[in-house]
A = this chain, B = another copy of it.
Amino acid sequence: MRFIKRFYNYYFAPNKGLAKRLKPLLGYTPTNLKLYVQAFAHKSSHSQKLSGSHNNERLEYLGDAVLGTIVAEYLFKKYPNKDEGFLTKMRSKIVKRKTLDTVGENMGLDAFLGEFNATRLSRSMMGNAVEALVGAVYLERGYNKTKYFVINKMLRLYVNVIALETFDDNYKSQLLEWCQKNGKIVSYKTVSKYKMDKRDRFKVAVYINDEKIATADDFNKKSAEQHASLKALKILKIYNNNHTT
């Protein structure tokens, strides 16, 4: 009997404090802890603690959809006079990987991910965990309570929606605008074209007043130019990424 108890404690005690630690994050005390353990279990993990339960990919799939709808409705009501194009663009700025990674970081999800995974944490695991967590909350609490959680415990705390309105991820046009304001001339040159994974790949350089500022590679010239422009904006210290708080 003592052995069973010790066995039980060894395997399940780590989750005992989990409900308490999740409470400030969620705004309520979760009861179906299995769901939350699963939300933090990355597919790459081979942690003993998770044997028997699934990883978080199915929850991520569900949470991605639920989060998208909650954000869609939030924007629909926040901007009653904006058209569908504006709303769609705003939504993708909020639910994109990079924003969610920062949200997950600010929520302190790395501590939970560290606990339930044996592998090294990567930044993109944060955004995945945010989605999986939304999926877990949805399964336990339903749509309306998940909406409350997403809006009050994520959006309002960690996403600067107003800053996102003017946030522009067309780096090429940002760089062009800056150059025009400052009387400089920007130009792009294809430095080389090569093969990678049997596909054409381009190395592009961005020049300002004939001075090479940065280079970048991608599978098409347009994306390579965008990457190079972003690098240039950072080098020139004119890049302002203030959409997460």
A→B interface (CB under 8 Å): 57-58, 60-62, 64-66, 68-69, 72-73, 76, 83-84, 87-88, 91, 138, 142-144
The answer to whether B73 touches A65, judged by C-beta atoms less than 8 angstroms apart, is yes
Interface SS, A side: helix
- Extra inter-chain contacts (13) besides given A68-B68, A68-B69, CB under 8 Å: A57-B83, A58-B84, A60-B84, A61-B87, A62-B72, A62-B73, A64-B72, A65-B68, A65-B73, A66-B69, A142-B144, A143-B143, A143-B144
Jot down 22 A-B pairs with beta carbons below 8 A, ordered by A.
A57-B83, A58-B76, A58-B83, A60-B84, A61-B72, A61-B76, A61-B87, A61-B88, A62-B72, A62-B73, A62-B76, A64-B72, A65-B68, A65-B69, A65-B91, A66-B69, A66-B73, A68-B69, A69-B69, A73-B138, A142-B144, A143-B144
> What B residues does A58 contact at CB under 8 A?
76, 83-84, 87
Write the chain B residue with the least CB distance to A76.
B62
> What B residues does A76 contact at CB under 8 A?
58, 61-62
The answer to whether B61 touches A84, judged by C-beta atoms less than 8 angstroms apart, is yes
Q: Which of A64, A69, A144 is packed against the most chain B CB atoms within 10 Å?
A: A69
> What B residues does A68 contact at CB under 8 A?
65, 68-69
**Please, how many angstroms separate the alpha-carbon atoms of A61 and B91 in the complex?**
10
> What B residues does A69 contact at CB under 8 A?
65-66, 68-69
Write the chain B residue with the least CB distance to A61.
B84
| Closest-CB distance, A55 to chain B (whole angstroms) | 9
> What B residues does A73 contact at CB under 8 A?
62, 65-66, 138
> What B residues does A57 contact at CB under 8 A?
83-84
> What B residues does A142 contact at CB under 8 A?
144
Write the chain B residue with the least CB distance to A62.
B76
| Closest-CB distance, A84 to chain B (whole angstroms) | 4
> What B residues does A91 contact at CB under 8 A?
65
**Please, how many angstroms separate the alpha-carbon atoms of A83 and B57 in the complex?**
8
Write the chain B residue with the least CB distance to A79.
B58
> What B residues does A60 contact at CB under 8 A?
84
> What B residues does A87 contact at CB under 8 A?
58, 61
**Please, how many angstroms separate the alpha-carbon atoms of A138 and B91 in the complex?**
18
**Please, how many angstroms separate the alpha-carbon atoms of A87 and B88 in the complex?**
23
